[in-house]
Chains A and B, each alone.
Chain A
């Protein structure tokens, strides 16, 4: 039969073939369907014919009559690009009062004051932030432990508030802290400016303390979380976990500890090959174990939800939103064009501007590949400069070998920094990329759940999506 092909990609999962259109809608078909489509073997009376037409996979006209509607849907999926850089990360200091075994930020001990950001750098960086076209700004304070540089933190927020009287942007403040030493003045500042607290909790006491290299960290963090909840409101505090080698054997214990501490979600996060975490001896083995860890954890979490307890795995929710809904996600670590520069920028304590959080971590190892300039440079020279243009060549998975024809392209993202760090060039090489392997495995696992356990998992998944 005569029909035209619209862009679509496909992948075999067990006995099914998943066919994904250009905007992420999918059909689960019998294997061989793609071949039949391409060879024009689909007939009008076949039951799948109506589905293929209605789902923008084939078209009667070469240019479909509703191509503008499809374009609107494409724009909707890419809506995270609309306002350009939203997330502005300020590395206030790289001093820290913890000693994490997987530290991604190469922190220094707390008495080395020359690792704090200067007032001059702050002024320039805040000025750059306000040049962002986005009506919403997220100003995120990182470290090290940013609360150690409290006076600078206070100055940064007050300065921003002062400038914003004229600029009138909607600003969200996020403080990334280990929560081990909340003073009254920190909490007062958080309360006054409605600062969101993002903290780290790796699981139960024996795991958390092991990962922190301290014997009392868990107790202090939990205490800190509860103090902050009391003072700032329950929903102002969120926690991230990082899966160390040691964590891999304890998925259930980690989830239980999150529930015990009254969290309603967890973000299962793998180690990144940056900073101290790069010394992990066998990344391939770790990657493999992490995928199994994720699957076990997700199964366990689904069971918890089936018992009537709302508890969300947030990475899965992000993947599900990409797979099941027509909407865009604001998750900077998995998007195309990549989050760096487009969605996030980093002002480092030393006055340098980096394309992403990971980029500045590389710089701590004297690799300045992703340094875009300094805070004293002009906005255009940083955001549209030669370095940005160079990175732009590899930041869209639509144009990367091994990604451009991947069925999961619309659900995944590009990561030039990761490619560079692990494979020595920003293009990367998909067949040996652990980033690819991990994301593909997780997306595939989610699809497998949707295919084989649909009626069981769908109510749980929709519950998560509707809360977000």
Chain B
């Protein structure tokens, strides 16, 4: 997962570089600013005589290699940091496209930043796509808001189609920029064969949605976007992050989805992560997971009864009514998930997706089932 490992190293390189970690000695690397034209060696250990080496090199200490396994892809920066940007052991690898966003959701777990980073991430990901193993089962695309890349997102998706034709692609977007139908058409014409776009839908009532996104007209733009995507038969997953503003209308939201958005292939009701902007906005947005049990049950069962594929994400089983257990998925990314002391004696632990380890606060109602 992006950003999951940061270590320091000594190096003579002056450019950012990607390497596929190949073992305990040497591997091939690439400067991503000049893709695939050069290679260098990594040396491990402190007592190597660097004067005997004629190519560029990186010098790593043994302890730098904790948490790094063969097949991982690492990003080396001149400032002496290493980031693991592909984890060969994880099923939740994500291409990170930008820190910018055109919404500013009250419960955002990774708050966006205004920074001119699109070209940087674009060239990084262009190379990364080429280095990823061909047999990778799934790959996420996230941000920030990936559609802020505009045409560059289309280019990345085209590269994915040619480099990773078998990989399931999941793009997470707020859907606003899909209100431009020609953009949707361009994306559809790439013809990715296993492609789902996940789009948050915060409320059936426009003002509640816009309040949550902190962005006027976001409801209208997202809904136009959803219809445009449907028009081109793109697969849509709707995501309803349950919070204090929308929980009382979960049933109405489910009805709205069935009547107005019946073309979506999946609806996920999601628990909130107590991190990012949530602590700051907790008065407006935070609600304990057990407080919306009834509303959640009515909404999930309503959609399920209409044959719409529906799931509950990010909630440990002990916080959800038993009738909903069959809909609860282990959805928290492997590097984020956490179980607690109470969970040791829980008979359902093996089936439970746990809670966010990244949450700064957890429900007091977590208890063994």
Chain A interface residues toward B at CB < 8 A: 25, 50-51, 53-54, 65-66, 68-69, 72-73, 325-327, 458-459, 462, 465-466
Contacts and interface: CB of A to CB of B under 8 A. Distances in A.
Residue in A54, A68, A73, A462 with the greatest tally of chain B CB atoms within 10 Å: A54
A42 B157 CA distance: 48
A359 B85 CA distance: 72
Contacts of A459: 305
B224 A54 contact: no
Contact of B259 (A25, A51, A66, A68): A25
A69 B258 contact: no
A462 B306 contact: yes
B309 to A, nearest CB: 13
Contact of B227 (A25, A50, A69, A327): A69
A458 B222 CA distance: 32
Given A50-B205, A53-B205, A53-B206, A69 B260 contact: yes
Contacts of A53: 205-206
A69 B307 contact: no
A73 B223 CA distance: 13
Nearest to A462: B305
Contacts of A466: 305-307
Contacts of B227: 68-69, 72
B256 interface: yes
Nearest to A24: B259
Contacts of B224: 66, 68-69
Interface in B203-254: 204-206, 208, 217, 220, 223-224, 227, 231, 249, 252
Given A51-B252, A53-B205, A65-B220, A326 B260 contact: yes
A82 to B, nearest CB: 15
8 contacts: A50-B249, A51-B252, A54-B206, A65-B217, A66-B220, A72-B231, A326-B258, A459-B305
Where chain A touches its partner, the secondary structure class is: helix
Given A50-B249, A50-B252, A72-B231, 16 more contacts: A50-B204, A50-B205, A50-B208, A51-B252, A53-B205, A53-B206, A54-B204, A54-B205, A54-B206, A54-B252, A54-B256, A69-B224, A325-B306, A327-B262, A458-B305, A462-B306
Contacts of B305: 458-459, 462, 466
Given A466-B306, A466-B307, A69 B205 contact: no
A458 B298 CA distance: 13
A465 B224 CA distance: 28
Interface string B247-279: 001001000101110100000000000000000
Contact of B260 (A50, A73, A462): A73
B252 A326 contact: no
Contacts of B306: 325, 462, 465-466
Contacts of A72: 227, 231
Interface of B: 204-206, 208, 217, 220, 223-224, 227, 231, 249, 252, 256, 258-260, 262, 305-307
A326 B255 CA distance: 11
A22 to B, nearest CB: 12
B306 to A, nearest CB: 7
Contacts of A73: 259-260
A68 B181 CA distance: 12
Contacts of B223: 66, 69
Contacts of A66: 220, 223-224
A68 B260 CA distance: 12
Nearest to B231: A72
A65 B222 CA distance: 12
Nearest to B217: A65
Contacts of A462: 305-306
What 7 A-B pairs have minimum CB-CB distances, sorted nearest first? A54-B204, A50-B205, A65-B220, A462-B305, A326-B259, A69-B227, A466-B307
Contacts of A69: 223-224, 227, 260
A51 B306 CA distance: 21
A466 B308 CA distance: 11
Nearest to A69: B227
Contact of B262 (A68, A326, A458, A465): A326
A73 B262 CA distance: 10
A327 B306 CA distance: 12
A466 B258 CA distance: 13
A51 B203 CA distance: 11
A326 B217 CA distance: 25
Contacts of A65: 217, 220
A451 B223 CA distance: 30
Contacts of A54: 204-206, 252, 256
A417 B134 CA distance: 65
Residue in B223, B258, B260, B307 with the greatest tally of chain A CB atoms within 10 Å: B260
A51 B305 CA distance: 22
A458 B304 CA distance: 13
Contacts of A51: 252
A68 B227 CA distance: 9
Contacts of A25: 259
A53 B262 CA distance: 19
Contacts of B256: 54
Contacts of A68: 224, 227
A72 B217 CA distance: 20
A459 B205 CA distance: 27
